[in-house]
Chains A and B, each alone.
Chain A
């Protein structure tokens, strides 16, 4: 540490023999050392640096959202309202939802790992529009500042869904400001999606045909399509909410001839596909981790790739399943219920193909693999309970209960956040060029899995027994399960902090990773870790399928 604070001993970036903080020559010519000033980071157009800017920002918002969740869980320890007022509780869970959805989950994997890896995986020097990429980060930060501003002003109490007429007429909080924040951050999503689509179409290296793309790329392509086509609908909906509040527009107000359900149609036309924005990149990550762990070609590559596209398309057709008890036409509900069952098929294809890929693979229990296994288990539970609430009759019983809360946390937290940590542990040596402690990695994967189930499994039972969501005063019979959930949340919280410690430690004391520490395939592993500024000295030519691992013949037993 002392060498950092002493300015006379700062490394000279132009002198490659000056060791400075770096241990290897690779590090000295990497993107991390290409410019040391704050300016060189804040005005960078290097996709790898923008990815790190995003990583730092969303980690910050993850903490803020986590603190809000901690308040919620602490208040739920007892059946009475002892920590927060009703209003305060509403504001805490709204803040948790808004920040976690738009400032962590949506940008989480695409804007960090997608940004970092898409050009590396397809053999390009950067994204198609590098300056647009940086602009999208600035827009994200602007939206974030608005959100923090709202936090200081006292928050908002509508829930992350902004349902009308609560949000448009009755809510006391800063609805317009929060709507503005989400409106702004939406443009960041659109620009990211646009950039990814054009990059994947136009910048693939020679020989990198669609059938040779890593599955991570396929899932990010599907995600980008949703980002571009769904996000604008949210933007206009939020603008209408703001106009409704400020000018009494009336479009969502039945007294003025409007229709509150129109809001729900518009909102869920974005927000259901948004769930797939959150989980599709995670599915892509897990495809990579599973193939790397098994060291086998992915079973049914075309089906896994195609199922990403299928999820993106069918995911647009199911939004009405959020509205079964809202008073929408029963015929519409029936159609949406059927389509919601259909969307489970491509998700199922992925699970089966991952399992088949792992069958007789050379599996080593590395941290990325453990996170991937955690993902698969939690995603299956979340997916199957999703089928339950997609059934019209069952949903009448379970709608707006903790069952739904547990269901979507299994997908978004158990699924996406596990995959995010899996990606972090898999590509960390590539991003920073250092190895971390594998033992601690395994431990944190296990603690996250245990803590997560401890937190959210009791919520399935709570919901099934009738505990509604968004209430902090509840009958005493629910206290045991609520307390289990809150204790689990503390375990989960600590488990989430563990990687911060050993990954930070690895930055300083980790061994240099080498090009390919996991001994896996993929263009990103053919270049030095951390990569040089322009990724590839020569644009590579691809001449084989992805995941081209040697197939091991089964040993004959005498």
Chain B
């Protein structure tokens, strides 16, 4: 897609195209919230049915690693929000630096999450084959299953987010998306990144801090 001087087909003017893009992204994010909603419902039901085991197994998770990861995501969200601000003012180099550093923080998150899975596996607390000798109760295993499902689903979304940030950075670097006219690509990607952050904001206390 080249940056055309005119707007694309169904649109009359650039403002209309911009608003449609933003709104489309927010509706997509609504569907993402509903997707994770099903997982949150499952967590709620397990918490209500087996609160004792949930607390017991939640205490064994590495809450400080989760806290560091939360910090990484909050910081990356800040950088991405700043990138949106800069893109509206056509600060091309600042936008590039902010997007790339946010993507780097995202990669750090994924690395730390991988380390966390690995250490849980070593300790025998990861519900996968060969890694669960310390898991003694069925509800406890169910809770850790949900932990694994929800954090890995989140990690998948974060991976997509990292790729999206890098793609947008690439488009801005090669000037295929001119700023500030096409700041909408930064804004929509940023919105997605913030939502992935928000989902983690809820997953963290529900999984790591059940007491």
Q: B-contacting residues of A (Cβ < 8 Å)?
A: 45, 119, 124-130, 132, 190, 193-195, 197-199, 201-203, 228-233, 235-237, 240, 243, 247, 249-251, 255-259, 262, 265-266, 534, 539
Known: A194-B24, A243-B149. 9 other contacts (CB 8 A): A125-B10, A128-B20, A129-B24, A197-B27, A198-B27, A202-B20, A230-B34, A257-B46, A258-B142
Q: In the complex, which residues of chain B have a beta carbon less than 8 angstroms from the beta carbon of A237? A: 38
Select which of A125, A240, A256, A539 is within 8 A of B42 by beta carbon. A240
A119 CA to B10 CA, complexed, in Å: 9
Contact B35 A235 (CB under 8 A): yes
Contact B10 A233 (CB under 8 A): no
Q: In the complex, which residues of chain A have a beta carbon less than 8 angstroms from the beta carbon of B28? A: 190, 194
Select which of A124, A199, A228, A257 is within 8 A of B50 by beta carbon. A257
Interface residues on chain B, number (Cβ under 8 Å): 34
A199 CA to B45 CA, complexed, in Å: 38
What's the A-B contact tally at a CB cutoff of 8 Å? Answer: 111
Q: In the complex, which residues of chain A have a beta carbon less than 8 angstroms from the beta carbon of B49? A: 257, 259
Q: Which residue of B lies closest to A237 (CB)?
A: B38
Q: Is B3 an interface residue (CB 8 A)?
A: no
Contact B23 A198 (CB under 8 A): yes
Q: In the complex, which residues of chain A have a beta carbon less than 8 angstroms from the beta carbon of B122? A: none
Q: Is B119 an interface residue (CB 8 A)?
A: no
- Contact (A257, B34) CB under 8 Å given A124-B10, A125-B10: no
Q: In the complex, which residues of chain A have a beta carbon less than 8 angstroms from the beta carbon of B131? A: none
B38 to chain A, nearest CB (A): 4
A424 CA to B141 CA, complexed, in Å: 54
A190 CA to B29 CA, complexed, in Å: 11
Q: In the complex, which residues of chain B have a beta carbon less than 8 angstroms from the beta carbon of A195? A: 24
Contact A251 B142 (CB under 8 A): yes
Interface majority SS on B: helix, strand, loop or mixed? helix
A62 CA to B125 CA, complexed, in Å: 49
Contact A130 B145 (CB under 8 A): no
A237 CA to B34 CA, complexed, in Å: 11
Select which of A127, A201, A256, A266 is within 8 A of B138 by beta carbon. A256
- Contact (A127, B10) CB under 8 Å given A233-B35, A240-B42: yes
Contact B38 A233 (CB under 8 A): yes
Q: In the complex, which residues of chain A have a beta carbon less than 8 angstroms from the beta carbon of B149? A: 240, 243, 249
A194 CA to B45 CA, complexed, in Å: 30
Contact B24 A249 (CB under 8 A): no
- Contact (A259, B45) CB under 8 Å given A202-B20, A231-B31, A249-B145: yes
A130 CA to B28 CA, complexed, in Å: 16
Contact B24 A262 (CB under 8 A): no
Q: List 30 A-B contacts (CB under 8 A).
A: A124-B10, A126-B9, A128-B24, A130-B10, A193-B27, A194-B27, A197-B27, A201-B23, A202-B20, A203-B10, A228-B27, A228-B34, A232-B32, A232-B37, A233-B34, A235-B35, A237-B38, A240-B42, A243-B149, A247-B145, A249-B142, A249-B149, A250-B138, A250-B141, A251-B142, A256-B138, A257-B46, A257-B49, A258-B46, A534-B9
Q: Which residue of A lies closest to B12 (CB)?
A: A539
Contact with A along B165-207 (1 / 0, CB 8 A): 0000000000000000000000000000000000000000000
Contact B23 A255 (CB under 8 A): no
Q: Which residue of B lies closest to A203 (CB)?
A: B10
Contact A236 B35 (CB under 8 A): yes
Q: In the complex, which residues of chain B have a beta carbon less than 8 angstroms from the beta carbon of A45? A: 9
A259 CA to B24 CA, complexed, in Å: 36
Select which of B10, B24, B32, B41 is within 8 A of A266 by beta carbon. B41
